[in-house]
Every structure is written in structure tokens, then in C-alpha cells.
Amino acid sequence: MRWTQQLIPTLREVPQEAEIASHQLLLRAGLIRKLAGGLYTFLPLGRRALRKVEQIVREEMDRAGALEILMPAMHPQELWEQTGRFAVLKDVMFKIKDRQERNMVLGPTHEEVATELVAHEVQSYRQLPLNLYQIQTKFRDEIRPRFGLMRAKEFIMKDAYSFDADEAGVERSYRAMYTAYERIFKRCGLRTKAVEADSGAMGGSASHEFMVLADAGEDGLVECDACCYAANLDRAEGLHRGPREFAGAELPPAVVPTPGRRTMAAVAAFFQAPPARLIKTLIYLADQQPVAVLVPGDREVNELKLQRVLQATALVLADDATIARVTGAPVGFAGPVGLPLRIVADEKLQGYRGAITGANQPDAHLINVDLARDARIAAFADLSNALDGDSCPRCAAGRLHARRGIEVGHVFKLGTKYCTALGAGYLDAAGVRQTPIMGCYGIGVTRTLQAVLEQSRDDHGIIWPISIAPCAVEVLPINVQHAPTLQAALALTAALEHAGCDVLLDDRDERPGVKFKDADLLGLPIRVNIGEKSLAKGVVEIKLRHNGSLTAVPPEQAPAAVQACAQELWAAVAP
Ligand code: ATP
Ligand code: MG
């Protein structure tokens, strides 16, 4: 492959639109271009890399026994209404009408379509287990499309749907997918961490996310430093460490004027108290009913957890007027003592004494609050996010550490929700009609590609794992005007291509500096520099991108030497 016959528009400048390194590299290395927010074109080298990721995914799904299909991107809206998910996902779905005015949607995921298929095609237990997958385009009207391929409006996902006769079967299917995911990410040269996840709108029982640890990640997670516990912040249950009794625990509550101190930080500073000594009181409307929610002053309410505990369909923070009406004070001064509302408290507040809360009066707080003595708490439950430094809920001995992550894959046990809603059933060996149990498994294929770049790069550019690099080798004749140099480059390219290596030959008549810079930016794993000076000494130079090592070999030995390097690089990404 010759550079001059390709479309590789590398950029010197860091494009304004790209905030994170991997997005900048995708643009600068000429792999993608933006059409509009969240919509990208893959240029030839980007497409090559994407194909390799897709192929790894495909091979591992096939290996795990899943069957490849291809479902439509456009679905009748009615199908989504049957499972009740149109109401849940309608804002995220692109909605269109055909010329007969029929309501259609562009699929953000395919549980409904896969289940509809199984409802028609599966009748007997003999047809189970069945795992169907596709590699296909998804559409999501994301609130904030950003970071290039990471959160796009249109992206490629591998989605798989398993159907089993019983719980033991689901467990096997789930394990098989989990293992396949580990193999896929390893083969892509990506280090991932599987974390326990919330099953959220999916409504299933178990779920794991595969995270790439990165500061640019949009997900928060915690991991234990002593055992293997790791969980998404949405779900993690950190155990409280630190005191629950503070000065004044024995005294009765007392009102202290706190003019204008509305925030936790301002109140903590005013009392010179640690934020954990404060009790934060938030007023929510759960299905329109006001409810007070208490968490320690250093923590945030986790609304997913709260919604589950309250069993509320709709949950929103109350507006200022409602807060003033139900607490008798403006925003910032609510507290649990004497509050005529249902109060739920974070379990980390159990045993809190000597705490500081709002006084339900303008510009005043209460000190010496003993929660059990002074307030009527309807229920204690896990309502807050885990924090860095919490004790591990699994082993209790370890501490949790907060990390950022990029979710590249997600596996779920779904239960029977979709099969029941769409009438999928089968006859068991005794001829009794049963409902299959479902699992679903997604990998963001385009997001995975970018996540590799986020993890594998340096100041000069990309460091491609050989398995998904657009090409394994770049041959770089330093001066193409020098005939022997070009000759040697062409000969080496031909020999490597003959041996099955994919090679990019930088045959541009450019200054060496430009070519070297682009080579580092593009970051193909193995590079061979061919120059007049080294040829005069009877050698060419092999340079490995990941560690910068240089080896000089005679031109005739170069093909074998390059292949030996390639073999080592392949071994590093073997599952
Ligand atoms: P997120 O929490 O990041 O919005 P999600 O949990 O909604 O993702 P899933 O429904 O689990 O996503 O989809 C499966 C996979 O598809 C995700 O693990 C992720 O890798 C990928 N993905 C989801 N949304 C996007 C997007 N907008 N752009 C690119 N990839 C995405
Ligand atoms: Mg997910």
C-alpha cells in the first residue's frame, strides 16, 4: 500500500473540536473526519483498523457458539411500545415516519427485534440454547455527544442476545460471553477491568461492565485494593469508615444562626466541622409525592439507588417553591428534625450523633443532632455513592479506590421480561409451554477502537497493537529521489506483502522530518527506515513503535527480521 495512492490526511495542529487525546489522534492521524456532532466518517486507515476490531469480535463470538445475523436499524415504533420501552427510551430514539405515516424508530439497541424473531422461530426446547449476534449501526440521540467515537449519535455495536431454557443455561451463556469479552479485549491489545454494574432500564438481575481505566472516562467506578471487588459507582456499596459520633452527642439539639450558609462547604466552614459531620437533606418528588432524603454531608445521593428503594417511576428534585412549602425554609436549610415528611436516610447515617443539619428555618442550622433520638426516619438504605477510601463491602479489609473508566462492553442477565412481553415461548420436554430466559451482551466496536488509542499512545502519537493496526509495518524510504533507496524500499515492501504482512510504504517526496513525524503520529507497530547513509553501510533500520528500539540489519535480512518482530508483537496480544 502506497501512501501517495491513499487518503491519509494527517494534521500538524491539534483540532479545536477534540478535547481528549484519543479523539485528537483519530483526527490528526487521518483516521476519521467529522460530518456533524456525533457523526463521523471513517477514512481508509480508520476503516482498516475498525475492520480488524470487528473481525476479532466476530471470531470470538463465533468461537463462543453465537450465530451472526443482521437485523434492521429501522423498527416499527409499535414493537417498542409492546415492551413498554418506548416510554423509557423515546428521548434517546430517533423517530421518523414512513410515507404511510407509520411511526418508525432507529434502533438504539435490539432486544425487541431479537425477541420478536425468537417468538416466531423458536417453538421447542430442542432449539435452545440460542445466541444471536450482529455487528451493526446503532442510533442514539445522546444528550451530549462528545469525545469523537466515544459518545456518538451513530455508532457500531456488537450486540448479542441469548435465549436459554433455564437458569443454569443462562449462567452458562453469560459465562461464555464474559470469557469471549476477555479474549476480545486482550486480542485488541486493551487492558480492561470487569466491574459489577447496575442493570438499570434493562431490568435484569446480574450485569458486568468492561471498563478501560482512563482519566478521560465518563464512568466512575471503585475497586478494592485487597480483593477483586470492583463496581460502577452507580452500584458500588462502600462501607462507612470514620466516626458517627461527634462533639455534642450528649447535648440536646440547639439552633445556631447561619446567615446565608446554604451549601455544605459553607456550613462546614462556618462550624469548622468536617463535611461528614453534616447531614445533607434533599427534598425529592417521588411520583409527585415529596420525600426527604438524608445523606452524609460529604456524599452525593445516588438517584438510581434512591429510585429503587422508593420504588418510584418518576423521581425529580423538588423545585424551590415546593421545598419552601414543605420545610418552612428556603433552599439550603432543610433538616430532618420535626420535618413533617416521609424521611429516608442513607444507611451510613445509622448511629449519627452530634451531627449538624438544617433547622427548617431561614438562615439557621441545628447542632448536636442525634438522628435516632431527634428524627423519625422511615427507612435506612444504601442511598449514596461510594467514596474513595470507603471499606470494601465484599472483604471489609480492603479500601475502595475511585477510578474513571470508559465502558467498552456490557453483559446482562435479563430474565423473561422481553420474552413475556413479546410472546416468546417454547414447549419443554413434557410439552409444557415455558418462557425462555434471556441475556444480552454489547460491545461498542467504534468506542473500543478509540479506547485503544486512549490507552496506547505517547506524546508523538498512536502506539497501535499489531492486531488492530491499520497496517503492521511502515516502510519509510527517507529520500525517494535516491534511486537505490526507493529500490530497496520497494523490494522490502514486496517481500513483506508476499509473506502476508500488510505494509504502508511512505513513498511521498517529503522532508525526512515530516515523514518521521507522521510515522510516529500514525504509530504503526514496526517501521523500517531506509536511507542513503545506512544503505552505504549495508543496513536498514528497524524501529519498534512501542519501545523505540532500533536494530540495523542488512536489507536482505530485513523481511525475516520484521517478521520475527511481528511474531513477538502478536504474542503480546494472544488471549
Ligand atoms: P453509556 O453508559 O456509555 O451511555 P450504555 O450503558 O447506555 O453506555 P449499552 O446500552 O450498554 O450502553 O451499549 C453497549 C455498548 O455500546 C456500551 O458498552 C458502549 O461501549 C457502546 N455505546 C453506548 N453508547 C454509545 C455511544 N453513544 N457511542 C459509542 N458507543 C456507545
Ligand atoms: Mg451499558
Domain 471-572: top CATH class? alpha beta
Query: What residue spans in the chain does CATH classification 3.30.930.10 cover?
Result: 16-190+416-453
User: Which one of 140, 192, 407 would you pick to mutate in the ligand 1 pocket, going by the greatest count of ligand atoms within 8 A of its CB?
Assistant: 407
pLDDT(203) > 80: no
What percent of the chain stands above pLDDT 70?
99
Residue 234 pLDDT class (50, 70, 90 cuts): confident
Q: What is the 3-state secondary structure (H, E, C) of 104-140?
A: EEECCCCHHHHHHHHHHHCCEHHHCCEEEEEEEEEEC
Ligand 1 atom closest to 109 (CA) = 10
pLDDT in tens, 417-469: 999 999 999 999 999 999 999 999 999 999 999 999 999 999 999 999 999 99
> For 364-378, what is each residue's pLDDT tens digit?
999 999 999 999 999
Q: Is the pLDDT of residue 201 over 80?
A: no
Grade residue 241 by pLDDT with cuts at 50, 70 and 90. confident
What's the mean per-residue pLDDT of the chain? 96
CA 80 to ligand 2 center in whole angstroms = 19
> What's the CA gap between 198 and 412, in Å, rounded?
9
Nearest CA to ligand 1 atom 25: 151
**How far is residue 439 from each of residues 182, 199, 203, 383, measured CA to CA in Å?**
17, 11, 11, 28
| Per-residue model confidence (pLDDT) at position 204 | 56
What's the pLDDT tens digit per position in 275-292?
A: 999 999 999 999 999 999
Cell of 390: 470507603
What residue spans in the chain does CATH classification 3.90.960.10 cover?
244-381
Task: Give the C-alpha separation, 327 to 340, whole Å.
Answer: 8
pLDDT of residue 199: 67
Residue 114, pLDDT > 90, answer yes
Specify the pLDDT at position 206: 86
Ligand 1 site-directed mutation target among 147, 150, 447, most atoms within 8 Å of CB: 447
Distance 478 CA to ligand 1 centre (A): 43
314 CA to centre of ligand 2 in angstroms: 21
User: Binning pLDDT at 50, 70 and 90, where does residue 238 land?
Assistant: confident
Does residue 151 have its Cβ closer than 6 Å to ligand 1?
Answer: yes
Determine the residue of 157, 208, 212 to mutate for testing ligand 1's pocket, defined as the one with the most ligand atoms within 8 A of the Cβ atom: 157
pLDDT value of residue 202: 52
Task: Note the CATH number of domain 16-190+416-453.
Answer: 3.30.930.10
Q: Considering every ligand atom, which ligand is closest to the CA of 445?
A: 1
Determine whether the shortest distance from the Cβ of 113 to ligand 1 is under 6 A.
Answer: no
59 Cβ below 6 A of ligand 1: no
Whole-number Å distance between alpha carbons of 368 and 354 = 4
What pTM, to 2 d.p., does this model score?
Answer: 0.91
Minimum CA distance residue for ligand 1 atom 3? 407
Q: What are the tens digits of pLDDT across the range 519-558?
A: 999 999 999 999 999 999 999 999 999 999 999 999 999 9
Report the separation in Å between the CA atom of 208 and the middle of ligand 2, taken as the mean of its atom positions. 9
Query: Per the structure block, which three cell numbers stand in for 463?
Result: 502506539
Instruction: Give per-residue pLDDT as tens, 9-47.
Output: 999 999 999 999 999 999 999 999 999 999 999 999 999
158 ligand 1 Cβ < 6 A: no
Architecture, CATH, for domain 244-381: Alpha-Beta Complex (3.90)
* Nearest of 132, 110, 111, 137 to residue 121 by alpha carbon: 132
Positions of CATH 3.40.50.800 in the chain: 471-572
Structure confidence by residue, pLDDT tens digits, 126-141: 999 999 999 999 999 9
Asked if pLDDT for residue 332 goes beyond 60, the answer is: yes
What pLDDT score was predicted for residue 383? 95
- Please report the pLDDT score of residue 198 as a whole number: 77
